[in-house]
Structure 1
């Protein structure tokens, strides 16, 4: 026989409460683990990359990627292949520990004031040579930059400092990869970071003077292993820049990679329109054939014919004329807008009444008045406007040819009234109040409240036993069979 000591009511109550706490704790730990998994995905860190060549040589021009795009290792490899095709193969790689575009805007001289700049030697080199800026390169790609350049030049990298370089004699006909590691300080005192950047600029100046003294042409690359601070705004696209446009302080929002479409009436601008993509698709033989009109609409050297456009105080019409779109010789994309006073809001609003497609004498009409509207003093902006994904554009009628067409505008902005100058007015965005971030916060809070309620409910269900053994009496004996 094995004796088991009986438990008192308080002990039993404490054991039950401990069991409940353990269950609630396990549930909370599981929830925290799930939340950490969902929150673990973060934006890729990116750093700027600046390339320039010695005087008399050109860095091959590059096609600009989409604004805010973070360049991967594969894309950087392609850019290096093109850039080094015409540049000298003596490469100077200045690899800093940390660097961000904000370091240029914070510590560079405003409007070329070298006395207040942390980069006087870098600015001087950019003014006298061809240069290229990649503002958003993945930190993993920049870390692999020595290996990428080594593959391009078929030569091993040499890590050195200016003193070692002064004793080295380079051959202009033989490729060389010289790597210079530069530090960075990001302490609480912001002047310390500026002093370190200024010291790094002096190192760059010493190296460039040595290369100039040896009369050896070179290609220089300045980048970092990781960003010096969190970059919240998307960077600009690729630009072939000089020191002033790169290193001076920028005010206001970053400009678009290309100017918007601008229609003038009687010498003054009255309609502005911009989009990252203008995609039209037509259903043919059971398949959707797509065509992006943006390359024919925007960009340097691209001019869209605006014949048929007009604007007045109450109506605006923007007509974009194209040729050879989806095998149609004549193709038009038309935006029809109007404005009027609404008594309920006691102000004037403009609406997009129609979006029309005219192709070889046929027409497709989409209604947009219920979704595209803004105060008449504002412009309208939306990240995505389409006729098929959460459609803001609907066919004007069931018999319309619009049923065989799809329209999609990415990062779309338009203003048809009260345009002043060449810039959009304040934008009325199409985003609703309940953004994905707000929904995530609400759902997470609701889940936590449910967990807390469940735990409190379990605790409230605990009851003291109404009958239990007398602790002073004989112990309970439990027979045990062999």
Structure 2
């Protein structure tokens, strides 16, 4: 029909303009960087960020080898037959250790690999003799690419991937034996499926503020941390109520112990005295950052304030549309507090490819099941219960027996004028 054709054309247009995310499976052996850091499972990597990640890992390697499928998607890794066997029985075993990591959504990972600094790639033909070729160590370069482009018309995709799984597994064993320090990547040139997200987004992400840098609402601290609020913070410190409207500066620094943790310092002027808020972002072991306590320095006194629930995965910001309060009960029974309205914050935020400063996707403090949703569910359950009870009552109504007795006297109704 015409409507179906129109929808198909729209789907094609959107698919053509969409970013192509391809999975990448990465191993490394024999290196002091052999343990991968935990990452959020559904995080999306740009080409540049994936290249930077691999550049650090490839620095001390004797061999960097890429196994590149023509097409690859997450669905290929999730596929199972009736018996529960996947397309990658061998590689599944090699990914159970800490020396491997699976990146499910990478924007054009092959281009990122081709642009590695100092890389002069040697093309190697895919064959069953690939492991023995690796053992000979005669590539002429430590950068090797194996294009797995031997698909035939008579082989379905699961069997093709199982065959490649066997070859890649044997090649990895040979590489570890021959070179010792190895970085291996299994990925694809293109995605097997239509991507889900457009590369050019025409809607602004949640609270990607358009205020100037280091303004009174959106604050950029040395390109290491961002802070946003819709109105000036208010504080109750030592029994004094103050409003922090006069912003002075914001700085941030990485901690010496861990480069993935940042401390942000935001300074305001209040009646000629500096008020400095210190945000020490902490890293958790699950790939999350959190901010459970801050300190405020004012009038030669430092106030330590706490809050709960301020956390998000790395490469996500935290946002809360309701008031965010940091507080601490003092010995005198008073409460020192600092309140932000429409609060959003994020550490370790890189500038995007267009050079713009903005928050990444937000991890919101309000869960999906809010009070209105729970109220709607509760009312719906009551209505369903009433409807069910009514239907049961109607079904229990029985007809009088005398109307069903075939031997009884027939009831006649005379029609008289």
The TM-score, its normalising length taken from structure 2, stands at 0.48
- RCO greater where, 1 or 2, for CA within 8 Å and sep 6 or more? 1
Structure whose CA Rg is larger = 1
